[in-house]
Amino acid sequence: MNDQAVHLRAMVENRQNITGSIRPFKIITVTSGKGGVGKSNFTANLSLALKNNGKAPIILDADFGLANIDLIFGQRPVYTLAHMLDGKMGIKDVLTQTQYGVPFISGGSGIKEMIFLQEFQLDMIVHGLSQLAFIGDTLLVDTGAGITDTVIKFSEMADEVCLVITPEPSSITDAYALVKTFIKELNLRPNFLVVVNRADSREEAESAYRKIAAASKSFLGKELHYGGYIPFDNLLVRAIKEQKPIVGVNENAPSSIGYTNVARKMLNLGQHHVQRENLKDRLKRVFKK
């Protein structure tokens, strides 16, 4: 823990020395309409692709009760977000550093839904997440699948919601249902970026995107942007079994190239999707409704 604390302090000092002040902090929420689409693995590898493109990402594993970002990095956390909510630790204390240079916060299994948190715990989350701007410049939030209070809150506060689908019809249908719920029932219109995972070809990925994008534009009046695709890759399958992120161990793998392309497209689109609201005010507005 001492080595980790020293490393994190160095990250803070380096960030402040280079910029002289804290740069804008971006929140990207990763979600899906159904489980089993490879969302958590996508989040972990996207973080490394963003890091390789000059960003300083941090991951929050907000799939409470089913957190598994740690398994993908092969790094078990000593502390989780639950320890911070006990009032004994700060946000920096529960960060887990990885050998790949991207820290993450595990949601652990002690929190079921954000809606059950008490007022003082909401204050801790608002303060804690706002402090992450002193360490990194991008927060990747890995959420559970479907519509839950946690997914809603983190999607509402996000600069972009990365919607991960596969070419399977059920995945496309469930993802569309999620978008429809946001727009029709919740009256929320986040910036959706669709990424197709496990595609056999670029043509198959683009076809899957066009299906959900056309339905959303025709029936919901909402444009969905295309973030690219990750090809099916046996090297990625092997890396998952070995508990290693493919981008961290083989940058030339087909899937790694896909993650790099998605990261670059996301950075380009992100220039047009920047929240004007102060980060702490944004967190207060969403979490303390």
Three-class DSSP category at 160: strand
Classify residue 63 by burial, with Cβ atoms within 10 Å: 0-12, 13-18, 19+. buried
* Number of domains the chain is built from: 1
The pLDDT, as a whole number, for residue 233 is 98
Tell me what pLDDT residue 1 has. Answer: 46
User: Which is more confident, 74 or 88?
Assistant: 74
Residue 263 burial class via C-beta count within 10 angstroms: exposed 0-12, middle 13-18, buried 19 and up: buried
Number of neighbours of residue 88 by Cβ within 10 angstroms: 10
Does residue 289 or residue 156 have the better pLDDT?
156
User: CATH code at 89?
Assistant: 3.40.50.300
Residue of 11 and 106 predicted with greater confidence:
106
Kindly report the pTM of this predicted structure.
0.89
Confidence (pLDDT) at 242: 96
* Residue 95, token pair as written in the block: 């960060």
The alpha-carbon radius of gyration of the chain (Å, integer) is: 18
**Mean pLDDT for the chain?**
87
pLDDT over 50 (residue 108): yes
Average pLDDT value for residue range 11-20: 45
Measured between alpha carbons, how far is 186 from 191 in angstroms, rounded to an integer? 15
Looking at 181-253, list the stretches that DSSP marks H as alpha helix, in order from N- to C-terminal side.
Answer: 202-219, 234-241, 246-249
Q: Using one digit for the tens of pLDDT, what is the confidence trace for 175-202?
A: 999 999 999 999 999 999 999 999 999 9
Residue 35 reports pLDDT greater than 80 = yes
Annotate 101-134 with b (16+ C-beta within 10 A) or e (fewer): ebbbbbbbeebeebeebeeebbebbbebbbebbb
- Which domain covers residue 218, as residue numbers? 2-287
Could you give the count of Cα atoms lying within 13 Å of 207 in the half-sphere of its Cβ?
9
pLDDT at 157 over 70: yes
Query: Residues of the chain with pLDDT > 70: what percent?
Result: 85
* Confidence at residue 148, expressed as pLDDT on a 0 to 100 scale: 84
The mean-pLDDT minimum among 110-114, 143-147, 165-169, 181-185 falls in 110-114
Residue 137, CA distances (Å) to 21, 132, 281 in order: 12, 8, 17
